[in-house]
Structure 1
């Protein structure tokens, strides 16, 4: 599946109707008015709250639905920093050195997993916004056709059949 892009990042040439429909759909789906909220643990640990706010500012498309993944990412990043600081104080021949390396590897995996969880909803929202924009454009086209009152053009073969039916030759 191709990765969807925001209208502002798209380089395709679009008509005015397509641009307005895509912008309206993005406003409804991608950038809704909610913001992620820090959980109780993150709120009361100053370095974690600072990190949470920095991550929240990195992408203004995060919504309240992303709060859990963002809090998990913040927690794991904070624990990774604490373990790295302790690892630096250890000597390479120390018995605990190897355990801290294993812990850091586990934190890296958890951090990657949290980042994937944050990425999937954004791609899903962009895809949904794109689909909604396509539907809006089709609705506008249908409304315009109805407004114009023009009958839909028939295929020449169907037109011939209709003409024959009209004169009772069929």
Structure 2
């Protein structure tokens, strides 16, 4: 599945109605989360600094991203602690292998939480696209319902009358 682009970044040709519907839908989706993310777990000062740095990197992060961002920061911090401990140990130390396995686990966790944070923007744009399609469909249905009934062709009326007899 291709990532969905913002209407401002689209190069495809679309109708004026579709463009307008997409713009309205994107504004609605963007308005859903205008708040900043907040840590959802306790953090020390270093972790809070990392959290704030990441939170400020992307304007589209909002309160719904708080959990993924908090877990990403915790995993990054713990990975860094383990990595420093590995560096301090002798290469032949038996504890080193266990720390490397733990670091590998945190690497996977970091990748998962990073991926979770990249999904919201794409999901929001996809949602805006879906909302625009629905709005256009509703507009077309409304137009179809508002059409004046077509006058019956008198010749067809005679033909149908003859069939009844």
Going from structure 1 to structure 2, the CA distance change for 1:57 and 1:112 (only over 3 Å counts) comes to same
TM-score by length of 1: 0.77
Q: CA deviation at 1:142?
A: 4.7
Q: How many residues get paired? A: 159
**Matches for 1:131-170 after TM superposition, within 5 Å:** 131-143=130-142, 149=147, 164=156, 166-167=157-158, 168-170=161-163
8 Å CA contact 2:41, 2:70 repeated in 1: no
Quote the residue 2:37 is aligned against: 36
Q: How many angstroms does 1:67 deviate by?
A: 1.0
Residues 95 and 23 (structure 1 numbering): CA distance in 2 closer, same or farther, change over 3 Å? same
SS at match of 2:68: helix
Once the 2 structures are TM-superposed, how far is the Cα of residue 39 of structure 1 from its aligned partner? 2.6
Distance, in Å, in 2 between the alignment partners of 1:72 and 1:95 is: 29
1 CA distance for matches of 2:135 and 2:63?
26
The two structures have a TM-score, normalised by structure 2, of 0.79
Task: Report if the CA contact (8 A) 2:37-2:63 is conserved.
Answer: yes
> Relative to structure 2, which stretch is displaced further, 88-97 or 101-110?
88-97
- Show the counterpart of 1:156: none
User: Is the 8 Å Cα contact of residues 22 and 129 (structure 1) preserved in structure 2?
Assistant: yes
Cα shift at 1:40: 4.7
User: Is the 1:31–1:63 contact (alpha carbons within 8 Å) kept by the matching residues of 2?
Assistant: no
* Residue matched to 2:128: 129
- Structure 1: 5+ residue runs without aligned partners? 153-158
Q: Secondary structure at the match of 2:162?
A: coil
Match in the other structure for 2:51:
52
Name the SS for the 1:41 alignment partner.
Answer: coil
Distance 2:155 2:26 in 1: 47
Residue 163 of structure 1 deviates from its aligned partner by 5.1
| CA distance in structure 1 between the partners assigned to 2:55 and 2:136 by the alignment | 33
